[in-house]
Amino acid sequence: MTKEEAEKLKTEKFDPDKCLELLTKLNENPEIDCEAFCLVLLEFVKIINEMSSALSIAFKDITSKVAILRNNYKVNPEWEGPLIPFIKKEMENKLDILNSENNKKHTKDPKYEKYESSARTVLRMLWFTEFLSIMLARLGTDPKKAASDAAKEAYEKALGPHHPFMLRQAAKVAMLAAPGRKTFNTKLFPTLREDEICIYLVSIEDQIEKFRKPMIKFFKENNLMDLP
């Protein structure tokens, strides 16, 4: 992530129209443009940051995952192109399993000594986007639901099953730090009516699922769901 992007994440407010614009662009390519995917993730960080500082800390690794995805294209410039073909190249070269800790077991190439695969990184971002999708769907279909309740439900379904016990306990506390519904609406949608907010939330959730479900299908078909 560039310094300019880092500063924007600190100062820019979440913009629902920009979010939908980025999601629409991402969904134009079924093979997933990596930079479009990264920009969507960074826009999602703004949602988390607006909700609470505890949640911001809990999801601070999203920006590092964006950096990994971008850097992997620098490591493998000859694989330039969409993300799905890039991951297929990793699989062909048996790089998909690399997580920076197990690399010595699987490769002798010094270029990949600290490599974290895009396959592994995207998998974890699909867990995150499922969390966000569930949370936004809960909020979009129930205008009175507290963000803390929606976040807790989404965490238990999407992220909790992938986390060890101690991390789950810490994450549950972070979910409870999410705001009540009125504060959520005011922070993220300060100029909109309650019904308009629900329309935006459902629309964003719908756009997330348009790319997330096909990507999950690809990961399942290629036995990538359990990358360490």
Report the candidate in 191, 184, 174 with the shortest Cα–Cα distance to residue 140. Answer: 184
- CA angle, 9 then 11 then 15, to 5°: 75
Q: Are 72 and 192 in contact (CB under 8 A)?
A: no
- Retrieve residue 8's tokens: 């924007």
CA distances from 177 to 17, 21, 109, 215 (A): 26, 29, 44, 31
pLDDT digits (tens, 9 = 90+) for 98-141: 999 999 999 999 999 999 999 999 999 999 999 999 999 999 99
pLDDT digits (tens, 9 = 90+) for 161-211: 998 888 788 888 888 889 999 999 999 999 999 999 999 999 999 999 999
Secondary structure E strands in 90-190: none
Q: Are 127 and 159 in contact (CB under 8 A)?
A: yes
**21 Cβ contact partners less than 8 Å away, ≥ 6 residues apart:** none
pLDDT digits (tens, 9 = 90+) for 34-79: 999 999 999 999 999 999 888 888 888 999 999 999 999 999 999 9
- Sign, CA torsion 156/159/160/161: positive
Residue 193 is predicted with a pLDDT of 96
Q: How far is it, in rounded angstroms, from Cα 49 to Cα 31?
A: 29
CA 192 to chain centre: 25
pTM (predicted TM-score): 0.93
